Amino acid sequence: MSDPTTPSAAGPQLTKVYVPPPVRLIALEEHFIYDGLLATYDATDRALLAPSRVPGLDEVGDMRIVEMDRAGIDLQVLSHTKPGAQEIEDAAQAAALASAANDYLAEAVARHPKRFAAFATLSTGAPQAAVAELERTVQRLGFKGAMINGHTRGAYLDDERFWPIFEAAQALDVPIYLHPSNPHPQVFDAYYKDYPQLGFAAWGYAVETATHVLRLILSGVFDRFPRLRMVIGHMGELLPFALWRADGRLSPKAPHLKKSVRNTFIEHFAVTTSGVFSTPELMCTASIVGWDNILFSVDYPFESNAEAVRWFSQLPIAESDRAKVAHKNAERLLKLEPASVRSPR
């Protein structure tokens, strides 16, 4: 996701695009915005996420599919951009708007079921309502899981009041995608107020999400729910590079955990390439989590479909690993109908 100081690089791509080899491409972290939720956002997020600033964010139909076709993307898994319904204090309003946004998304998927799938947005401030909405969207609307955007008004998911959401996700056998949101206000004030550009996609989002992941691991939530699967984007939010040191310093001080910090991360988290189209970072991530736990993503429309596909198609990796990242891992994790080559459009 881009930050308020950097113009969006996305929008309609009218230039010549590299034609990728015939491998199915599923993009796992691709965003949209629902007007009803946008109206509740604070001034920072309204400016950051205005459709006039991020072309394509408010469109979930033919124009988006044209953009996918230009780059060679077969399927987008759509999710509502941050913070969704998580900052709304009124629980009834938050639940109603989350449901409305999910219904809006379900209609888009129904119109283009071969091109779109969906993650639910949840009103996490009211965990029981969030559980009901996760169950409704998965069981009745065919959603593939949910996306949670960071903290909920300063509260992180290691707080056990949120754990019914994880219990439901495990029971439904669907993943939770933990996506960045703006850093905690106190953190932003302490770290970033003098250099606000650091607080968003350039740095702050990754620090915030990586810290959130480590909090979850240390909380013991994965011991409580041993089949819970989660996903993080942006090539692992700095964690693949930092995991050795974090494990060495944290695991000996966490005797309550059944597994080490490192093993918990590798066993419970998948990582996507969203917004990071760099081969050294990919190779580092693959060496830590393995090719079975990496999934292709763009972070559209904050990033360019064409740039992501061009980079991915030219990677110097085994074709068997390319197929895993391109579609096989997503098909397994999200229980999508498998396809070994690009589907007819």
| Residue keyed to tokens 């996306």 | 147
Please give the structure tokens belonging to residue 295: 């999934």
Exactly one of 3, 45, 74, 299 is catalytic; name it. Answer: 299
DSSP H helices in the chain? 35-38, 43-49, 62-71, 91-111, 127-139, 163-172, 185-187, 204-219, 221-224, 239-250, 261-268, 279-289, 305-313, 319-323, 329-334
Instruction: State phi, psi for 78 to the nearest 5 degrees.
Output: -90, 145
- 8 Å CB contact between 233 and 271: yes
Which residues, including other chains, have CB under 8 Å from residue 77's CB and lie 6 or more apart?
Answer: 26, 27, 28, 29, 30, 116, 117, 118, 119, 144, 330, 334
Instruction: State phi, psi for 142 to the nearest 5 degrees.
Output: 80, 20
Active site annotation includes 321: no
H or E segment at 277?
Answer: none
Active site residues: 299
